[in-house]
Amino acid sequence: MPIIEVRNLSKTYAGGTTALSDVSLDIHESEILALLGPNGAGKTTFISIVCGLVTPSGGEVRVGGHDIVRDYRAARSLIGLVPQEISIEMFETVMNTVRFSRGLYGRKPDDAYLEKLLRDLSLYDKRDARLMELSGGMKRRVLIAKALSHQPRVLFLDEPTAGVDVNLRRDTWAVVRRLRDQGVTVILTTHYLEEAEEMADRIGIIDKGRLMLVRDKRDLMHEFGRKRLVVELVEPLITLPADLRELGLVLSEDGQHLSYEYDTRADRSGIARLFATLARHGIAVRDLETRESSLEDVFLRLLGEAA
């Protein structure tokens, strides 16, 4: 059974803006799902509904088999949320704020667990420091610690690395992977396609409140991805023979490289024909390089197709 089941979820705000429209989705235990989409696509609304911050206009969501409205206590106790903004009480200490979060979820005090959690997030040395004394990166980790204080099975991360430096981003990724390995299901929204590409097992793309697709990352890359083959020549070419141009090859300005883009899904990539033609013209090859489309390419292509 999926840990989260979303059926026909929709949200129209009082002002008339439709933020989500008929979204259905299953999220499986111990996976990392990245939700991608441009600003205002409905990602944060989706998270806010599942976490209980926003009331849905229609549809149904179950977390661990519990309906988020009728059985909200059981559903919410399974969820941890790391919000997009750094929202903390600046005068509180790290340990107290994490204890407070655990208490809100009705869990028994367990300082041994909380100390371990702070150690895992490299916050233990700062446990008695006031939040106002911490760096931006540490404050973000405190938010993660608060979200994990009650040992949830599902963790929502809304733009977890927005505006943070590369090192902290890498640290956050490591924490998320470790959580996944411990059995926690992670749902993250991000603007950084690199982040989704690096971390996610599955990727969902939301645009204009609609879930356009949800796929395994590798399948998505394979299905929508294209590859580029770059051929380095021994001798530069001045002009490209017509039959090579017809194959779709492009000659670089210095005449030293030929590039060829092909669809990984196609039955025939055309590479064999390409090399046969090169051989027929007596064009010698020094080196080859292939590059797969990035998720960014796939994302832009999908949004472009939808527009």
Partner 1 sequence: MNWRAVRTIFAHEMARFWRTPWESLASPVVSTVLYFVVFGAAIGGRIESVEGISYGAFIVPGLIMLTVLQQSISNASFGIFFPKFVGTMYEILAAPISFFEIVLGYVGAAALKSIIIAAVIYLTALFFVDLPIQHPFWAAGFLVLTAFSFSLFGFLMGIWAKDWQQLQFIPMMVVTPLVFLGGAFYSASMLPPFWQDVAKLNPVLYLVSGFRWAFFGQADVPVAASLVAVAVFLGLGMAAVWFIFRTGWRLRN
Interface characters, 141-180, with partner 1 (x: CB under 8 A): -----x----------------------------------
Residue keyed to tokens 């106790």: 77
Q: Where are the alpha helices (DSSP H) in the chain?
A: 43-51, 72-76, 94-104, 111-120, 136-148, 166-181, 193-199, 217-224, 242-246, 271-280, 295-306
Residue among 24, 38, 58, 89 that touches partner 1 (CB under 8 A): 89
How far is Cα 19 from Cα 16, in angstroms, rounded to an integer? 9
Residue among 55, 167, 182, 239 that touches partner 1 (CB under 8 A): 55
Q: Which is nearer to partner 1, 147 or 214 (CB)?
A: 147
Asked whether position 234 contacts partner 1 by CB under 8 A, the answer is no
Asked whether position 69 contacts partner 1 by CB under 8 A, the answer is no
User: Is 187 within 8 Å of 213 (Cβ atoms)?
Assistant: no
Residue 127 tokens, joined: 């446990």
Q: Which is nearer to partner 1, 152 or 225 (CB)?
A: 152
What minimum distance in Å lies between the beta carbon of 200 and partner 1? Answer: 23
Residue 236 tokens, joined: 């530069």
Q: Where are the alpha helices (DSSP H) in 13-55?
A: 43-51
Q: Which is nearer to partner 1, 7 or 107 (CB)?
A: 107
Q: Which of 181, 205, 234, 187 is nearest to 296 (CA)?
A: 205
User: Is 95 within 8 Å of 118 (Cβ atoms)?
Assistant: yes
Residue among 3, 51, 154, 203 that touches partner 1 (CB under 8 A): 51
What minimum distance in Å lies between the beta carbon of 15 and partner 1? Answer: 10
Asked whether position 183 contacts partner 1 by CB under 8 A, the answer is no
Window 12-31: residues binding partner 1 (CB under 8 A): 13-14
Stretch that binds partner 1, among 105-113, 115-123, 162-170, 185-193 (CB under 8 A): 105-113
What minimum distance in Å lies between the beta carbon of 224 and partner 1? Answer: 34
How far is Cα 238 from Cα 282, in angstroms, rounded to an integer? 14
What minimum distance in Å lies between the beta carbon of 20 and partner 1? Answer: 12
User: Is 214 within 8 Å of 25 (Cβ atoms)?
Assistant: yes
Residue 118 tokens, joined: 């702070």
User: Which residues of the shown chain bind partner 1 in the complex (CB under 8 A)?
Assistant: 13-14, 48, 51-55, 72-77, 79, 81, 83, 85, 87-91, 100-101, 103-108, 146
